[in-house]
Structure 1
């Protein structure tokens, strides 16, 4: 791994701490209908929180987990989410830095870090990671997957995939335009639309599947799950059919295992409602991480 990649991973981790702080705000305010642009206040006494008290992780530690004005306890979940987001941002950046998920550019090292594919894949994954964390927190808290997050998030992912697809075809491995003034027009034939088309098909297919499941069992599947399925299917489809199939199956496997464990431990009954959104998102990351290798392994067994 190059020094530039290490620096990028560290920067991504620090940036993730800040994003984690914002995701805490999103998870609390969106379900409650509180504007995101309002200044931070203590939920107990409504005292304004100073800027240094909002520094991720360190602000909570400096306050010893209590409001400076009224002494009310600040949940430890806040610094945990911030720290976890920072770690995951660094991990995703490291993963993209040492791999080529779409393999559109057979280059390594600094050349890989300079490609449109690298930055497109990285940004798309970090946006999807942020959505995963926020939606998981909200679904666990309120059993909701708000349209205000799912639908704009889905549109953002599609836009990022489109931009990445176009720029990966237009820009050479070194990161600049090829040729002379007409190089951009002449490079359109190098654009590989396959992953983007697969992403669209994946989003529609998974949305349709969950829609049918909801028609069959309205109490077992919420409308938010159906819309989230479109977002998840779009992201998984971009990485490959194996990622889509494994990621979709992993959601039901993980959710089912949790249900069995909760029933065996007496923490849930046959009619206990378990939020499924977090397992859809967890399954999606399983598909992104190992879906393609698992798919190739399975096809090898069948051949």
Structure 2
């Protein structure tokens, strides 16, 4: 049953990843994700069902459109594969729990936002708000199913707190953060708040640290300057996913240390 769950979740991830590619291509341009059906952006030839199999079709077509032979960006199979892998990882993390649907919705939305930010330095409201609404709805169902209404309150507080903190930064230094990052912070607070406020802090610190390291490395290689623009949303998304999947040991260690400091207990048992 456990293996079957992972297989189903992985296949679901491939299908969702295919849809995310459509969203990434159309939402920033203000187009509908439902109509018209998928077509080649160059020759407008509709994509046949046989050519719309996640990952497989990209290789079978030789990475080119069947009609006009224009190259198909590698972003398509990459998002499909990454969505499937992260969906399976979330299933490993949460198992068959009431939290899993929210984690999958949250992850899918974050991947689409990261792709948009990486390609166009844009975090569309038409992706942030639906992801926020669906994640909150899934968490509401989880709270109703488990009776953990206090966690829902923490989730709401973290969402508001994340938005408010980034809004303050944006207000003080608009050049540091776009308002899309402010909205994204509210989404991260909501999605991670169910796990606890420490996970939100972990995500922001990890994402900021990753952005700093990448920016420093690019400047060291002469490929960027202090004024080069980086897609900060990509790093925040990476931090959020890392917090969800591997943040528990770090958060547990931090909370243990904090509790020991608060009680005055010794942190180690060194020699007398």
Q: Which residue of structure 2 lines up, in the alignment, with residue 124 of structure 1?
A: 102
Name which of 158, 164, 169 aligns with 2:142: 164
Structure 2 counterparts to residues 1-303 of structure 1, below 5 A: 4-37=1-34, 38-97=36-95, 113=96, 118=97, 120-168=98-146, 191-302=147-258, 303=260
Q: Which residue of structure 1 lines up, in the alignment, with residue 263 of structure 2?
A: none
Shift, 1:74, TM fit:
1.2
Change over 3 Å in CA distance of 1:293–1:19 after alignment to 2: same
* Consecutive aligned runs of 4 or more in structure 1 exceeding 3 Å deviation: 299-302
- Deviations 1:178-211 (CA, angstroms, capped at 9, x unpaired): xxxxxxxxxxxxx221211111111111111100
CA distance in 1, matches of 2:18, 2:148: 37
Query: Does the CA contact (< 8 Å) of 1:5 and 1:94 recur in 2?
Result: no
TM-score (norm 2): 0.91
C-alpha RMSD of matched pairs (Å): 1.4
Classify the secondary structure of the residue corresponding to 2:194: helix
CA distance in 2, matches of 1:35, 1:20: 17
- Deviations 1:78-136 (CA, angstroms, capped at 9, x unpaired): 11221221122122112222xxxxxxxxxxxxxxx4xxxx0x31111111111111001
Shift, 1:286, TM fit:
2.2
CA distance in 1, matches of 2:83, 2:121: 22
Query: Does the CA contact (< 8 Å) of 1:40 and 1:49 recur in 2?
Result: yes
Query: Does the CA contact (< 8 Å) of 1:242 and 1:294 recur in 2?
Result: no
- Deviations 1:254-299 (CA, angstroms, capped at 9, x unpaired): 1111111111111110111111111111111222233343233124
TM-score (norm 1): 0.82
Query: Does the CA contact (< 8 Å) of 1:242 and 1:291 recur in 2?
Result: no
Greater shift, 201-210 or 236-245, is seen at 236-245
CA distance in 2, matches of 1:298, 1:75: 42
Change over 3 Å in CA distance of 1:219–1:82 after alignment to 2: same
Query: Does the CA contact (< 8 Å) of 1:248 and 1:287 recur in 2?
Result: no
Change over 3 Å in CA distance of 1:299–1:58 after alignment to 2: closer
Query: Does the CA contact (< 8 Å) of 2:39 and 2:47 recur in 1?
Result: yes
Shift, 1:56, TM fit:
0.8
